[in-house]
Amino acid sequence: MQSKELSFECETGNYHTFCPISCVSWLYQKIEDSFFLVIGTKTCGYFLQNAMGVMIFAEPRYAMAELEEGDISAQLNDYEELKRLCLQIKKDRNPSVIFWIGTCTTEIIKMDLEGIAPKLEGDIGIPIVVARANGLDYAFTQGEDTVLAAMAHRCPKTILHAKEKPPLIVFGSIPDFTAKQLSLELEKQGIKVDGWLPSPKYTDLPDIPEGAYVIGINPFLSRTATTLMRRRKAKLINAPFPIGPDGTRAWIEKICSVYGVVPKGLEERELEIWNSLSDHLSVLKNKSVFFMGDNLLEISIARFLINCGMTVYEIGIPYMDKRYQAAELKLLETVCHKKNTMMPRIVEKPDNYNQIDRIYDLSPDLVITGMAHANPLEARNIHTKWSVEFTFSQIHGFSNAVEILNLVTRPLKRTAKLEVSRLTTI
């Protein structure tokens, strides 16, 4: 069982995850002057309205352009239809940008959103950014990747003078508060973050000159990284992601090394955080965990949990970009060696049915899974944590490490507290 290297497998892709259009729910909140128009069917709308829950009632800046039979059979003119809807949105909300989210249906009927957008943009005077966040190609958080990749094209581009220090742009959507915390950590090392993609306002998109340094904050941003490198000629800093104190330190150290700064006080800072987590760590020590995989944060969280003393049996993941995640995978391996624990198997495009068989065999202490499987597993006495919560919580940077452990330890602590769950004791 104790292999020296990580093993990668690929299954059937029959797994449960959220549709990538769900990125609308956090991106409309992040980009304050935006409006998201999802061009799809009732199925897309039904998913969004149920997945977003109460948010839907807060007059969100998002809507469906619901395709009707006339649209599918091309009896209606796509351009005219979209123009009518976008003018309505302009009148009601007057956003600084409209995002068109392409879906499976627009792919299949080959609606030329990228072709229509520039023309309509000219006609109505609002920028239109097209992202194809569909379930044919992507899973859950990858939706954000498609949107950010499309936004990368819209960032202004100045010329970098030869003597100038290349600016640092961080990409990935995180709450403003967390972004400020991370900027502050870098400031302590004398490094200034010159811009974030996305910025809180579309009108403040960061300037990305050729030769700028870019670094990702989330593991699911491969397309954005590729776009920034190939199309914007930026230089990607490949680092582990700032999730957990170990990841955060590695992330900052890597940035420092690029700018030729010797990091100071980082080791102490990491230690300080670990010490503050000791209560949680005692709960997690020698416990095992199984990731069914649905949001691409799995490698980073697994790496952090192994560092917390847990054993990870399996890391299911929708899509594994070994190049973009290279530094993170390397760190995972190092952590396994350091902790002298088994190398987890990484299963890309997992098969949920087979995974549940393996879960029965391994009986892990905790399964990190989607909501479709959580209650049925709990009913079989297997502790679960909903993976979606990791996406919607603040998990980045030193001070949010505790948030991750709050999530992970909650099911374990809860069962310890509930006397009624042990039916034999009543």
Partner 1 sequence: MKLAYWMYAGPAHIGTLRIASSFKNVHAIMHAPLGDDYFNVMQSMLERERDFTPVTASIVDRHVLAQGSKEKVINNINRKDKEENPDLVVLTPTCTSSILQEDLANFVTRASYESQADVLLADVNHYRISELQAADKTLEQIVRFYIDKEGPEFISKITKTKKPSVNIIGGFTLGFHNQHDISELKKIFAELDIDINLIIPDGTYVHQLKDLPRAWLNIVPYRETGLKTAEYLNSKFKIPYVDETPMGLKQIASFLRQIQKILVSQGWECNFEEYITNQTYFVSQAAWFSRSVDCQNLIGKKAVVFGDATHAANFAKILHYEMGIKVIWAGTYCQYDADWFKKEVSSFCDEVVITDDYNLMASLIAKSEPDAIFGTQMERHIGKRMNIPCGVISSPVHIQNFPLSYKPFLGYEGSNQIADLIYNSFTLGMEDHLLEIFGGHETSDEEPRGIIKTNQDSELKWTQDAHNELSKIPGFVRNKVKRKTEDFAKKNKVQNITLEIMYAAKESNSSI
Question: Using CB under 8 A as the criterion, which residues of the chain lie in contact with partner 1 when the complex forms?
Answer: 13-14, 16-21, 39, 41-43, 45-47, 49-51, 53, 56-57, 60, 63-69, 71-72, 76, 81-82, 84-85, 88-89, 104-105, 107-109, 134-140, 353, 356, 370-376, 379
Complex with partner 1: residue 68 or 123, whichever CB lies closer: 68
Complex with partner 1: residue 185 or 294, whichever CB lies closer: 294
In whole angstroms, the minimum distance from the beta carbon of 19 to partner 1 comes to 3
Complex with partner 1: residue 144 or 270, whichever CB lies closer: 144
Dump the DSSP string for 335-379: HHHHHT-PPPEEEES--HHHHHHHHHHH--SEEEE-HHHHHHHHH
Three-state DSSP state, 394: coil
Three-state DSSP state, 315: strand
Complex with partner 1: residue 199 or 384, whichever CB lies closer: 384
Q: How long is the chain?
A: 426
For 294, residues 6+ apart whose C-beta sits below 8 A from its C-beta are: 15, 16, 17, 18, 139, 140, 316, 318, 369, 370, 387, 388
In whole angstroms, the minimum distance from the beta carbon of 129 to partner 1 comes to 19
Task: Give the type of residue at 101.
Answer: I
In whole angstroms, the minimum distance from the beta carbon of 311 to partner 1 comes to 26
Complex with partner 1: residue 11 or 207, whichever CB lies closer: 11
CB-CB contact of 219 with 304 (8 Å): no
In whole angstroms, the minimum distance from the beta carbon of 117 to partner 1 comes to 15
Complex with partner 1: residue 40 or 245, whichever CB lies closer: 40
In whole angstroms, the minimum distance from the beta carbon of 60 to partner 1 comes to 8
Six-digit token pair at 160? 């970098």
Candidates 132, 103, 138; CA nearest to 321 is 138
Complex with partner 1: residue 7 or 49, whichever CB lies closer: 49
In whole angstroms, the minimum distance from the beta carbon of 423 to partner 1 comes to 14
Task: Tell me how far apart the 2 most distant CA atoms of the chain are, in Å.
Answer: 75
Cα(173)–Cα(145) distance, rounded to whole angstroms? 10
Q: What's the start-to-end Cα distance of the chain, in Å?
A: 40
In whole angstroms, the minimum distance from the beta carbon of 401 to partner 1 comes to 28
